[in-house]
Amino acid sequence: MPNYTVNASILTQFAQWIATTPPLFIGDEIIVQKLPFTHTDNLQINDYRGNSRLGFIYQHLCQELFTHCSPLAIEQTELQLNNEGRTLGELDFILRDPFSLDASHLAQHWEVAIKFYLLHQGRWYGPNAKDRLDKKLRHMLNHQLKHTHTPCFIEQYPQWQYLSQHLLMQGRLYINPFESHPIPRFCEGKEINVSQITGYWCYQKQFSQIDESLYQLDKSCWAIGAALTPELTAVTKPLQSILHCQSQSGRFWFIVPDNWPNNT
């Protein structure tokens, strides 16, 4: 994938968003609710040049925050687990908590993710409807975070055989204001943080019902939004298959094809 550039100003805003925005789920022994980032006001970040996928940018900023704004210390990032020449998986972060009173939590395995999901008929779908919140959460809890329990991992990294597991999942959840559906409180038995159900979505055929101007967002601004300047041109007709926009009032909107989520 070609290199993609995000300037330092946007990255700094994005990092502040990560450090202060509640996760998608109420916390438990694995799901993180209390964010481990402090004193971010003086964080200095250089321009990003790399993969354009938002998850890569998000993980890069988490690494910056763990490095400069967290009591947790990075021991390893993007740790690959291999067996007989085959890659079994990759761990986002191995962190060390030097202040933990629990010896079993001195070393920690963290997986991080940023996701955006749209409620449709009781399920949360990604803009690419092959992605669903229940599937993603199940994969993170039952696959990604289980790598450190495998004999292969323990054999290769015996110093980390007692890692605690932690999942940080941030993003935003969207509902269709032109349709009435009950909003689930749980997903895969985990309680959804309703404070993060702040976005709207609609079909292209419903676009004319939106009563304020929308402005398309670059993917690097999906989380934080963009400053609405006179130079920006409002979306008058959604020609692309999927649009992520910000309204004049600051509301986030997804506009999807009329056959979504059956178009993938």
Please answer whether residues 139 and 121 qualify as being in contact, where contact means their C-beta atoms are separated by less than 8 angstroms: no
Q: How many other CB atoms are found less than 10 A from the CB of residue 101?
A: 7
Instruction: Average the pLDDT over 139-168 and give the result.
Output: 93
Structure tokens at 165: 């597991």
* Chain Cα centroid distance, residue 119: 17
pLDDT digits (tens, 9 = 90+) for 87-104: 888 999 999 998 776 655
Q: Tell me the three state secondary structure of residue 147.
A: helix
What is the maximum span of the chain, computed from C-alpha positions, in angstroms?
Answer: 60
For the full predicted model, state whether its pTM sits above 0.75. Answer: yes
Answer yes or no: is pLDDT of 50 > 60. yes
Token pair 């323990």 in the structure block, residue: 154
Strands 86-96 and 73-83: antiparallel
3-state secondary structure of 109: strand
> What crossing angle do the helices spanning 8-20 and 54-68 adopt, rounded to 10°?
70
Mean pLDDT is lowest, of 51-55, 73-77, 225-229, for 225-229
pLDDT recorded at residue 201: 99
What average pLDDT score do residues 51-74 get?
96
Least confident of 128-142, 151-165, 198-212: 151-165
pLDDT of residue 103: 59
* Amino acid residing at 175: I
Look at the block and give the residue holding tokens 């110093």: 159
Which of these, 41, 49, 43, lies nearest to 62 by C-alpha position? 43
Q: How many helices (H) and strands (E) does the chain have?
A: 4, 13
Reported confidence tier of residue 105, pLDDT bands at 50, 70, 90: low
In the chain, where are the structural domains located? 4-256
d(CA 201, CA 220): 19
CB 78 within 8 A of CB 90: yes
Q: What is the pLDDT of residues 169-184, one digit of tens each?
A: 999 999 999 999 999 9
**Running DSSP on this structure, what letter comes out for residue 28?**
-
Query: Contact 25/71 with Cβ under 8 angstroms?
Result: no
pLDDT at 85: 78
